[in-house]
Amino acid sequence: MTPVSYYLVLGAALFAIGVAGVVIRRNLIVIFMSIEVMLNAVNLTLVALGRALGSTDGQVMVFFVMTVGAAEAAVGLALILAAFRSRHTIKADELNLMRW
């Protein structure tokens, strides 16, 4: 059987890729996709840990994460669309009406 640490490392790597994507990329859609990668890294971690611990809490949690992720996707894409309609851009750098 594959040891649980393999899954944890994979989860951590995916999470890091997601974080790097949010920090580095400037396209709003790609940033949003990177956030989804982060959430799925967490899901993988939760499932692996739940199986290793022999408890169902981890698996149940994944359902909630997926549901909330879907709600976030709906709201996020709508917000990106609304911003695109008023500003005609999906580059994060060009959303700069407000500055300190």
Partner 1 sequence: MISGTIGAALDASWRPVLAPAVVAITAMAVMLVGSRLGEEDSEGLGWLTFSGLALAALCAFAAVGRHAPAFAGALIVDDYTAFFYCLIAVCAAMVVLLSLDYVPALELPSTEYYALLLSATVGMMLLAAAGDLIIIFLGLETMSISVYVMAAIARRDPRSSEAGLKYFLLGAFSTGFLLYGIALLYGATGSIKLEAISRALQSSALAASPLVLLGLAMMLIGFGFKVAAVPFHAWTPDAYEGAPTPVTALMAVGVKSAAFAGFLRLLLVYLPALHAQWGGALWVLAALTMSVGNLVALAQNNVKRMLAYSAIAHAGYILVGMTAAGGAAGAAVLYYLLGYAFANLGAFAVLVAVERVEQPGTTLADLGGLAKGQPMLAAAMALFMLSLMGLPPLAGFVGKFYVFSAALQAGYVWLVVLAALNSVISTYYYARVIVAMYVNEGAERKLRARRPGLSVALAVAIAATIIIGVDPRPYVEMAAGAYASAAGIARSGVRAAFLAH
Residue 83 near partner 1 by CB under 8 A: yes
Residue 91 near partner 1 by CB under 8 A: no
Q: At closest approach, how far in Å is the CB of 60 from partner 1? A: 7
Nearer to partner 1, 6 or 64 (CB): 64
How far is C-alpha 52 from the geometric centre of its chain's CA atoms?
Answer: 24
Question: Which x/- pattern, by CB under 8 A, does the window 8-47 give for partner 1?
Answer: x--x---x--xx--x-----x--xx--x--xx-xx--xx-
Contacts of 8-16 with C-beta under 8 Å, sequence gap 24+, read 8/45, 8/48, 8/49, 10/44, 11/41, 11/42, 11/44, 11/45, 11/48, 12/41, 12/45, 13/41, 14/38, 14/40, 14/41, 14/44, 15/41, 15/42, 15/45
Residues that bind partner 1 (CB under 8 A): 8, 11, 15, 18-19, 22, 28, 31-32, 35, 38-39, 41-42, 45-46, 49, 52-53, 55, 57-58, 60-61, 64-65, 68, 71-72, 75-76, 78-80, 82-83, 86-87, 92, 95, 97-98, 100
